[in-house]
Structure 1
Amino acid sequence: MCQAQDLTIPLWNDSVPNQRKTSEQEIATKTDILRIGNVQTPTLACYFPPDSINTRKAIIICPGGSYKILAYNLEGTTIAKWFQERGIAAFVLKYRLPTSSSLVTPHKAPLQDLQKAVRLVRHKAADWQISENDIGVMGFSAGGHLASTLGVHYHEEMYQPRVLEDSLSARPDFMALLYPVITMNATYAHKGSIHNLLGDSPSQTLLDYYSNEQYVNSQTPPTFLVHATDDRGVPVENTLAFYQRLKEVGVPVEMHLYQEGGHGFGIAANNKLLHTWIDLLYNWILNIDNQ
């Protein structure tokens, strides 16, 4: 296998489900963060480790951005390269955003794309030297909401099966959620993510469906949680609620809360306190079979 980014592949080889043709164009703006909006062609950027250090584990990364943009490098490619260098195959998902006018049923599109990504990686596991039972998902902020939505709704048919891989399980083998949006109901819900995902006046049914703490059960994947207590964007109560439910039903869960860090800190390489989270996660992933 070569190093750095090996390839980027489209998720859907034929027409993209739940999407109509419009004049809308994808937007990418680069300052300190590469922000991608109006995703029209969802893709998977693949980062394979050298054979000599390959752990045969894999992780699919969902960048955050309030379901309006994707913080593609901060919470995507930078993280993927870190794992690649340590023997874990990493995939950055460029998923469709529900603010796009190209979508028929906007709130379904992100979960459709993540379900497809897990099935695609599982289908390609042998070719890519990955264990088909060691494929996790990781998400930051709204990407953490997407990852946790898959963790509790993986078994639901979100699109019509078309090819062989669509018959495979979309259940991730583990989850890592970084300062995640979890609930859509409580006082600590993130209003921007609710608005972008569900629109101006969502029904109570939709608010409940995407309040992921309500759907945790014993089959929810083992989970690693990270949050800063002083997060004013997505309050730490989101992570606490998910942790409590996982604990109640006996799902293996590890949680790390930092006193300071705010929201959207990414890998936090230059922060002497926060930077420890990714090493803790790496060790947890390597030992997940023992939990």
Structure 2
Amino acid sequence: MTQPQQAGPDQLAFQQYRTLLFSVAYRVLGTAADAEDAVQETWLKWSSADRAQVADPKAYLTRIVTNVAMEQLRSTRRQRETYVGPWLPEPILTGPDTADDVATADSVSMALLVVLETLTPLERAVFVLKEVFAFSYVEIAQAVERSEAAVRQAALRARAHVQARRPRFAADRARQRDVTERFFAATTGGDINTLMELLSPDVTLWTDGGGKVRQALKPVVGLETVARWFAALGSVTYQGIEPGQMRAELTSVNGGPGVVFRGPDRVIATLTFDFDEQGRISTLHNVANPDKLRAVTEGTRHELC
């Protein structure tokens, strides 16, 4: 973002809420690149606004970024209808502050973002502002430019939809990290027996290649099938890269433990996990579309609120 060296009051106010703006936009859009575009457009609108008429910069900026994100989402939804294979959100690297805050980490998890994809743009924006950022219905109505009654109805629909598709379990973060580390070791060692111990009986693997790289076009379901898929990673060529040339590292992705796979000159894929009530891996999201790996490739860790 190009800005003068001397920050004026308008820039200081914008920078104060920049993390909030990105956090809202990313959850509404599901892609870091589009979220950054929404923040950039918010800056342009903010810099040309008559700020003498702005009583609450936070509310004003949130309204701008929310509406920009909703409009972008309406546009990208049409593009996603012709997407090759499952469409998964764009993964981002997150810092320890995000991982340590259970509520924040859950709200930016790949599993929840996938569920949010099934909401309408209005429902998604209302859910994010209400459930994640605890905005009042009056504040949300102003932000999305709808009546308070319409917002309450959208919130009710969104909450019911998410609860039906995203069961919540007590988050034992230490258990999740331990299972992820054991899964990582078993995968790199081709240990199918350990993999089968760590996976839920009805585990599902979702892969997103976007038609750019070869991936499964339908979800891979079942304990033995998924276990064999990952046990083979250390012995087969993947995306033209020999096993000896591939590196895998444990890191924090979307607020939780994840794996980044790298080749000699590029990031190949990311892997994130969702867990069942017993702490076993119930869902895996594998993003391999190179267009969605730019933020991870750049190595930027996003601070979220």
Which structure has the highest helix share of the two? Answer: 2
- Name the structure, 1 or 2, with higher relative contact order (CA <8 Å, separation 6+): 2
More strand by share: 1
* TM-score w.r.t. length of structure 2: 0.28
TM-score by length of 1: 0.29
Which of the two has higher C-alpha Rg? 2
